[in-house]
């Protein structure tokens, strides 16, 4: 298929990963334990502090020792950018140390050097779905203001060390996760109980402040640095034209837009203030917080896009819900879904791009998108993942249309260019990669890397700057 509109020169084609989902080596190099290390069943399930349970995150796909081989494969596909996260616990094992762990920093020095060797732009997520367990156990997670200072120390160490080597950054992955998985997002946990909304919103406030401080500090160090927010986009359609459905869809979207609103505009929107008041939640704010938020607005809007959602007020329909990484919702009769129930909606991506660009007038960066599927390794090391190619092609076509609509889009890093451990369900059976990893959900396999059919396809897409789909 030929897309009609070309992407801009220097468009950042590539892939995205997270430390805890692929590095492995969870207790090597001086690394401390993170929240992911005690979440054997994924981000939507309660942690198990005992550590005994089979946990795929502990070994990941061993990127820690195979990163050179993996980056060489990304380079072969022609990657312009590679988004990865820094494991906080490699740098500050318990989170509250005064000085960083040099061995941890050296690992990322090496990864960055390797990317540069292949002319791949590193894109860093400072915090992706994991925080030091020490900050959970000893400080109670992000509800504690002190964690802002610990994050600041962590972020500043990274910015000091890498600002001249790395231009693109994100402060928190899918920051709206806090509303849906407070342990993963904020290290909040109540045994056999519910985390209070007061604690959730207080933690979110602390992350906004921490993020804004990192943005301001980055700007001091390098004037052309680009530091973005990162939200899991969750566009919601009204199921019907019933005004109540529309109202519900709007309210649901605000659970997501709240985050980018604060990070892109630098203040709490009136609808959030009203909502907090109605819930009886009072945020503890320090005197400078408003000024910090205002000064630290992001340079671009990073977001993930996997699916769209539907809102209805119809009780019967509500009984029939479908899956997603953060939310479950009502089935959209016009869409097909993946084996994990994620509704495939390429046009929704065009809509999201337009909405976000209209709202903020800041460049957009699609930092995750992709299809989790069961792949079959056939004789002769062949994986015919045509369904993945179809999914990605359809989404890239809609991206091109969004650009034609006038959206300023700077890049696209699809999720998991190499198979890795999934976040919501902690499996290896659910694969996203162009590169197959011979390792299964039980943790068995040789860890060998094998190119799938989509490998050559994506290479062609990048070589043609998105024209040859």
**Residue 383 CB neighbour total at 10 angstroms:** 21
For residue 17, the minimal CB distance to ligand BG6 (Å) is: 8
Give the list of residues 6+ apart from residue 241 with CB closer than 8 angstroms, or none: none
Tokens encoding 288: 């400078």
For residue 244, the minimal CB distance to ligand BG6 (Å) is: 29
Nearer to ligand BG6, 124 or 292 (CB): 124
Nearer to ligand BG6, 21 or 34 (CB): 21
CA-wise closest residue to 431 among 375, 364, 361: 375
**Cα torsion angle, 307, 313, 315, 317, sign:** negative
Nearer to ligand BG6, 139 or 303 (CB): 303
Instruction: State how far Cα 54 lies from the chain centre.
Output: 24
**Residue 62 CB neighbour total at 10 angstroms:** 16
For residue 340, the minimal CB distance to ligand BG6 (Å) is: 7
Between strands 409-415 and 12-16, the pairing is parallel
Instruction: State how far Cα 360 lies from the chain centre.
Output: 20
Interface residues with ligand BG6 (CB under 6 A) are 18, 21, 129, 173-174, 232, 304, 325, 368, 372, 415, 422-425, 430
CA-wise closest residue to 357 among 264, 271, 223: 264
For residue 302, the minimal CB distance to ligand BG6 (Å) is: 11
CA distances to 203, 222, 275, 379, 428 from 200, rounded to whole Å, are 5, 33, 14, 50, 30
For residue 447, the minimal CB distance to ligand BG6 (Å) is: 19
Instruction: State how far Cα 256 lies from the chain centre.
Output: 14
Nearer to ligand BG6, 144 or 304 (CB): 304
> Which of 23, 121, 130, 368 is the catalytic position?
368
For residue 356, the minimal CB distance to ligand BG6 (Å) is: 17
**Residue 76 CB neighbour total at 10 angstroms:** 14
Nearer to ligand BG6, 101 or 369 (CB): 369
Nearer to ligand BG6, 256 or 425 (CB): 425
Give the list of residues 6+ apart from residue 227 with CB closer than 8 angstroms, or none: 169, 170, 171, 214, 215, 218, 219, 298, 299
Give the integer Cα–Cα distance in Å for 414 and 424: 17
442 is catalytic: no
Would you name the residues annotated as active-site residues? 368
């Amino acid at each position: 298929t030929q897309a009609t509109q070309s992407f801009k020169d220097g468009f950042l084609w590539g892939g995205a990963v997270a430390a805890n989902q692929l590095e492995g080596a969870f207790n090597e190099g001086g690394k401390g334990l993170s929240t992911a290390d005690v979440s054997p069943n994924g981000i939507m399930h309660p942690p198990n502090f005992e550590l005994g349970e089979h946990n795929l995150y502990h070994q990941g796909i061993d990127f820690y020792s195979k990163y050179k081989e993996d980056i060489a494969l990304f380079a072969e596909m022609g990657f312009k950018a590679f988004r990865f996260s820094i494991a906080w616990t490699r740098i500050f094992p318990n989170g509250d140390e005064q000085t960083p762990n040099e061995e941890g920093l050296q690992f990322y020095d090496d990864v960055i050097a390797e990317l540069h060797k292949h002319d791949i732009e590193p894109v860093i997520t400072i915090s992706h779905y994991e925080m030091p367990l020490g900050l959970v156990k000893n400080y109670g997670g992000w509800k504690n203001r002190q964690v802002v200072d610990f994050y600041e120390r962590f972020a500043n160490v990274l910015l000091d060390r890498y600002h001249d080597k790395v231009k693109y950054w994100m402060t928190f992955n899918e920051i709206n996760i806090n509303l849906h998985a407070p342990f993963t997002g904020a290290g909040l946990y109540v045994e056999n109980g519910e985390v209070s909304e007061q604690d959730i919103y207080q933690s979110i406030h602390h992350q906004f402040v921490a993020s804004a401080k990192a943005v301001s500090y980055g700007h001091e160090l390098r004037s052309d640095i680009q530091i973005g927010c990162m939200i899991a986009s969750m566009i919601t359609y009204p199921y019907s034209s019933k005004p109540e459905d529309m109202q519900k869809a709007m309210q649901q979207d605000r659970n997501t837009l709240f985050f980018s609103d604060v990070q892109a505009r630098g203040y709490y929107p009136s609808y959030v203030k009203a909502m907090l008041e109605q819930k009886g939640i009072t945020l503890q704010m320090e005197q400078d917080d408003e000024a910090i938020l205002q000064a630290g607005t992001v340079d671009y809007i990073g977001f993930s896009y996997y699916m769209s959602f539907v809102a209805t007020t119809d009780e019967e329909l509500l009984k029939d819900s479908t899956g997603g990484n953060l939310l479950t919702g009502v089935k959209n009769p016009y869409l097909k879904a993946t084996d994990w129930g994620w509704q495939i909606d390429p046009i929704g991506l065009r809509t999201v791009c337009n909405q976000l660009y209209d709202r903020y007038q800041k460049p957009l960066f699609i930092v995750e998108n992709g299809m989790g599927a069961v792949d079959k390794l056939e004789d002769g090391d062949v994986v015919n993942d045509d369904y993945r190619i179809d999914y990605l092609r359809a989404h890239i076509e809609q991206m091109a249309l969004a650009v034609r609509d006038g959206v300023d889009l700077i890049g696209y890093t699809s999720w998991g260019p190499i198979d890795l451990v999934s976040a919501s369900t902690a499996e290896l059976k659910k694969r996203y990669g162009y590169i197959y990893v011979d390792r299964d959900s039980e943790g068995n396999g040789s860890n060998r890397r094998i190119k799938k059919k989509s490998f050559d396809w994506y290479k062609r897409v990048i070589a043609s700057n998105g024209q040859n789909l």
